[in-house]
Structure 1
Amino acid sequence: MRVYHTETKEAFNALMEELEREDCKWQSGDEPTALKINWFKYCSDTIVRVKNRVIVYNSKSHISDEGLIEKYTKESKTKSKIPVVPQFVADWYEKHKSILEYKIWEYIYDWDDQDCESDFYDFMDDDNLKPIETLIKMRNGYEVEKEQLYYVKLIDQATGYLNVRRDGCKSLNNSVQNDIFKTKFTEAEIKAIDERYWQFAVPVEEVTE
Structure 2
Amino acid sequence: MTKFEEELSNLPVSIVTNDGDYWNKAQLLTVFKDWQPQQALPVVPEDVDKAIKYLKKHNNSTFSDLGGILTEKGFWWLNDFQFKDRRFGFGGLNNKLFILSHLAITGYTVEKPQIEKPQLFYIDLPKVFGLSDSTSDSTFVSKAESGIISEFTKGKDYALKLTEQEINSIDERYWQFAVPVEDGE
TM range (shorter): 0.3 to 0.5
Tell which structure's C-alpha radius of gyration is larger: 2
TM-score (norm 2): 0.33
Q: Which has the higher contact order (CA 8 A, sep 6+)?
A: 1
TM-score (norm 1): 0.30
